[in-house]
Structure 1
Amino acid sequence: MRTGHEDSEREDAAPVDMLASLFEARGWPCEFVSDDEIHGEIQGSWASYQLRCIWRSEDHVLQILCLPDIRVPDDKRGVMFEIMALINEQVWLGHFDIWSNGSVLLYRHGLMLGDDGLLSLVQAQTAIEAAVDECDRFYPAFQFLLWGDKSPADALASALIDAAGEA
């Protein structure tokens, strides 16, 4: 049986165990899908995001998937691919994609770990925060495109306007 307290006392841990400790410490709901996969939910600025983290031990890669619960209608697939190309040019880590099974928008990032296959708390925190930050950053662009009928360039430009304060 896994407990987050045991893993949080160590500096590095198996990736899925470290992520479970992080989720527990932050109060984010999560569950183990298998020994190599964890599923959780995080409230972002615009929406609640489903997170799936999958450890591939043979490659030493932790794959992080963040799903903002945006389904892409068939008639909008072309413009979605266009805006994703524009957005992915601006993303340093990971990328946005459409999952062919169900036409769901997702953010995907693969984190290569060393030969020991251990993940530090700082790495875990940084990777999860980056996924949520990128989804938050571009969520309005996807909404402007899908529901505001803006062009991909206009949707992205509208979403990236920085407000001069907070409401």
Structure 2
Amino acid sequence: MLDDQWEQLDQDEAPPVDMLAAFFEARGWSVDRVGEDELSVEIKGNWTSYQMRAVWRNEDHVLQILLLPEIRVPDEKKPVIYETLGLINEQLWLGHFDLWSNNNILLFRHATLLGGSGMLGLDQAQTIVDLAIEEWERFYPVFQFVLWSDKSPQDAIEHAMVDTAGEA
């Protein structure tokens, strides 16, 4: 059945919310339809679990993906987190990290303009979802170092972004 879903998805484009719901289900993720144009799904990453929200704005043909771990920033850490966000976002080509001011939650956000048809293909859905997860997985340790180890943003990035050669 799973192969049939992938084959069906691979051949078609679909409205973004429908494509993403099928894509999430094909990956074995439990999908919650928040509304007609919004989905929510829990994703287990290497560092933590994330809530992914997909929001479709039909009037603009824009699909927005939000990926949120449960990281709340204490008020006294906001200045250093804003500095960290600036340094990280300089390195990104697509999407950006942000801090929601109403609840102090860190998130990754990416919006995609789908053009006149407003349809989403499987390759594009997979790329958008994987991008958000990969960026959080890559930068999660940076936020950990800044928030809980009191490292400076520069030191946190330097320590977290060390590429290892080979396998242990």
TM-score bin (small chain): over 0.9
Instruction: Give the C-alpha shift of residue 163 in structure 1.
Output: 2.0
Instruction: Give the C-alpha shift of residue 9 in structure 1.
Output: 7.1
* 1:13 paired residue number: 14
Q: Distance in 2 between the 1:151 and 1:90 partners? A: 17
Q: Distance in 2 between the 1:42 and 1:117 partners? A: 26
Q: Distance in 1 between the 2:138 and 2:83 partners? A: 17
- In the alignment, structure 1 residue 59 sits paired with structure 2 residue 60: yes
* 1:96 paired residue number: 97
Instruction: Give the C-alpha shift of residue 96 in structure 1.
Output: 0.3
Task: Give the paired residue count.
Answer: 164
* 1:126 paired residue number: 127
Q: Distance in 1 between the 2:9 and 2:162 partners? A: 39
* 2:116 paired residue number: 115
* 2:159 paired residue number: 158
1:81-116: CA deviation from partner (whole Å, max 9, x where unpaired): 001000000011100000112100000000100111
Q: Distance in 1 between the 2:146 and 2:10 partners? A: 45
Alignment of structure 1 residues 14-53 onto 2, 5 Å: 14-53=15-54
Code of the aligned partner of 1:50: Q
What's the TM-score once normalised by structure 1's chain length?
Answer: 0.93
Q: Distance in 2 between the 1:9 and 1:87 partners? A: 33
Give the gaps of 5 or more residues in structure 2: none
Instruction: Give the C-alpha shift of residue 8 in structure 1.
Output: 3.1
Instruction: Give the C-alpha shift of residue 162 in structure 1.
Output: 1.2
Q: Distance in 2 between the 1:73 and 1:101 partners? A: 12
Gap change, CA 1:149 and 1:99, over 3 Å in 2: same
Of all paired residues, the percent bearing the same amino acid is 58
Q: Distance in 1 between the 2:69 and 2:127 partners? A: 18
Runs of 4+ in 1 over 4 A off after TM superposition: none
Instruction: Give the C-alpha shift of residue 75 in structure 1.
Output: 0.6
